[in-house]
Amino acid sequence: KAKQAGKNRFQFYNSEFCDLMVEKRALVGELRKAIADEELVVFYQPLFDLKSKKLIGAEALVRWFHADRGAIAPSVFIPVAEEYGLIDQLGHWVLKTACRQLVAWQSRYKPELVMSVNVSYQQFGRYDFVESVSGVLQGTRLAPQSLHLEITESTALIDLTHTKAVLRQLQSIGVSIAMDDFGTGYSSLSCVKDLSIDKLKIDRSFITNISTDERDAAIVKTIIALSRNLHMKVLAEGVETPEQLAKLAEFECDEIQGFLFSRPLDAEQFEAQFLQRNMNEEEC
């Protein structure tokens, strides 16, 4: 059992000790140390333009490779970081790391690449969030137009007045906003009605059965039409099969992301596979 690799190992550890609180407290301590010791790594998953098949950029996804427990999934440690006040530091580190990486890739390979970075509701809620983003942009000398920030519907709806103001400020400095996991929240439509969003990222749960389930297909088609009509870009998350891709092409989705093209990779692998290989003609 203990030999189970990756995130499974953590789950076994969990159930064997049967004491979530003790377990969580241990995890918090280790996460604090991991942040300080830079045991965390940013991985990058490529984003492609569906029509041209060209690489647009990457989504930054944080990884934790624990010395004893193996890989711990972000779905496990991000909520812990949020609960214990560690997400600001973690999120800021991811943002800085990803921006710095993009600057290097832009100057070496493709100036038009973009970086999409996830923002936690707690980071987003801070009074100085915009200031910290512009601080990172200045510090890394990244053009604001190259940065996309991903927030979820639930983050956006915590405080609509705050959200409107923050989005306006971010867009005024040139940063784009993507609505992550679109369709899974309780008020997807009020989000797009009230907020100025640059891109919708259709949640993977709608893409999974798109080629076999007519209802999922209809929903995806409708979200794509919605984004067209409201002048937003639209991306499909979690594309795993050629059949799903064919449907998305038929519906004229703008952008795609998923295991069919690549899993998230470390910077070196990303560079080797998507930047060095064909500097002019990436194909997915």
Residues lying near ligand C2E in the complex (CB under 6 A) are found at: 45, 61-62, 73-75, 78, 91, 94, 118-120, 150, 180-181, 204, 238-240, 257-259, 264
CB of 239 to ligand C2E, least distance (A): 6
Burial class (CB in 10 A: 0-12, 13-18, 19+), 135: middle
Tokens at 152, concatenated:
């979820």
- Residue from 181, 198, 255, 282 touching Mg ion (CB under 5 A): that is 181
CB of 17 to Mg ion, least distance (A): 29
List Cβ neighbours of 123 (8 Å cut-off, separation of 6 or more).
87, 88, 91, 92, 129, 132
DSSP 3-state of 71: strand
- Residue from 50, 86, 150, 182 touching Mg ion (CB under 5 A): that is 150
How many other C-beta atoms can be found within 10 angstroms of the C-beta atom of residue 16?
11
Biggest alpha carbon–alpha carbon distance for the chain: 53
Find the part of the chain contacting Mg ion (CB under 5 A) among 165-173, 230-238, 253-261, 271-279: 230-238
What's the gap between Cα 13 and its chain centre?
28
In terms of CB distance, is 30 or 95 closer to Mg ion? Answer: 95
CB of 264 to Mg ion, least distance (A): 11
Given a contact cutoff of 8 angstroms between Cβ atoms, the answer to whether 28 and 86 are in contact is: yes
Given a contact cutoff of 8 angstroms between Cβ atoms, the answer to whether 258 and 277 are in contact is: no
The whole-angstrom separation of Cα 146 and Cα 151 is 17
In terms of CB distance, is 188 or 257 closer to ligand C2E? Answer: 257
Beta bridge partners of 46: 58
In terms of CB distance, is 19 or 266 closer to ligand C2E? Answer: 266
Find the part of the chain contacting Mg ion (CB under 5 A) among 12-20, 134-142, 216-224, 236-244: 236-244
Tokens at 94, concatenated:
């991811």
Binding partner of residue 91 among ligand C2E, Mg ion, none, CB cut-off 5 to 8 Å per kind: ligand C2E
Find the part of the chain contacting Mg ion (CB under 5 A) among 44-52, 94-102, 105-113, 229-237: 229-237
| Helices 242-250/214-229 angle, 10° precision | 40
How many other C-beta atoms can be found within 10 angstroms of the C-beta atom of residue 49?
16
In the stretch 182-221, what mask flags binding to Mg ion with x, by CB under 5 A? ----------------------------------------
Beta bridge partners of 55: 48
Chain length of the chain? 284
Q: Contact between 153 and Mg ion (CB under 5 A)?
A: no
Binding partner of residue 216 among ligand C2E, Mg ion, none, CB cut-off 5 to 8 Å per kind: none
CB of 127 to ligand C2E, least distance (A): 18
In the stretch 83-112, what mask flags binding to Mg ion with x, by CB under 5 A? ------------------------------
In terms of CB distance, is 74 or 185 closer to ligand C2E? Answer: 74
The whole-angstrom separation of Cα 161 and Cα 84 is 26
In terms of CB distance, is 180 or 271 closer to Mg ion? Answer: 180
Given a contact cutoff of 8 angstroms between Cβ atoms, the answer to whether 213 and 187 are in contact is: no
Residues that bind Mg ion (CB under 5 A): 118, 150, 180-181, 237
